[in-house]
């Protein structure tokens, strides 16, 4: 099977959904600041969003590495273990950054707002998932997993602003 990054580039429906509403662009992997992980592990920017945020693979290896997200406001969190899990998050809950209560109800309210602007959201989501050969877990499962990963990551995944040696603030708190 092709790596998922290749699959995204090859499937227009998937790339379009991930670009919006997912706000995920494989051509935006450069972070605006010099950063490193507190653990000293490798950090590889591979995608970004329209607001200057960056998705990083942590450590060495392939697409199964942990994924850390850093926004442009100095906040960061581990958001997935592997690209497959990140893509499931972006497909099921593309508004995850605004879903701070981590509840199905809050996600449903945000989905309703997105659906007003994108009436065929569910159809586009399904096409993108099929193109990438991904299952779509339940919203509650995705939100619980995000919270678990982000709040239980530990010091190895603290992002440091290199010039000042200062850690980024947690994007997601207990």
The two tokens of residue 160 are 């440091």
Q: What is the pLDDT of residue 2?
A: 58
Cα–Cα dist 66/55, whole Å: 10
Burial of 144 (0-12, 13-18, 19+ CB in 10 A): middle
pTM of the model: 0.95
pLDDT at 7 (0 to 100)? 96
Average pLDDT over residues 32-59: 96
């Amino acid at each position: 099977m092709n790596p998922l990054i290749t699959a995204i580039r090859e499937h227009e429906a998937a790339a379009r959904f991930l670009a919006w509403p997912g706000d995920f662009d494989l051509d935006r992997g450069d972070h605006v600041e010099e950063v490193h992980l507190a653990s000293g592990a490798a950090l590889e920017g591979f995608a970004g969003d329209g607001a200057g945020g960056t998705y990083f693979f942590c450590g060495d290896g392939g697409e199964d590495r942990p994924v850390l997200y850093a926004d442009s406001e100095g906040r960061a969190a581990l958001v997935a273990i592997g690209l497959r899990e990140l893509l499931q998050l972006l497909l099921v809950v593309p508004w995850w950054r605004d879903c701070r209560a981590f509840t199905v109800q809050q996600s449903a309210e945000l989905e309703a707002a997105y659906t007003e602007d994108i009436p065929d959201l569910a159809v586009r989501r399904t096409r993108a998932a099929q193109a990438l050969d991904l299952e779509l877990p339940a919203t509650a499962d995705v939100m619980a997993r995000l919270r678990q990963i982000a709040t239980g990551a530990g010091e190895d995944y603290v992002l440091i602003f290199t010039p000042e040696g200062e850690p980024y603030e947690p994007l997601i708190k207990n």
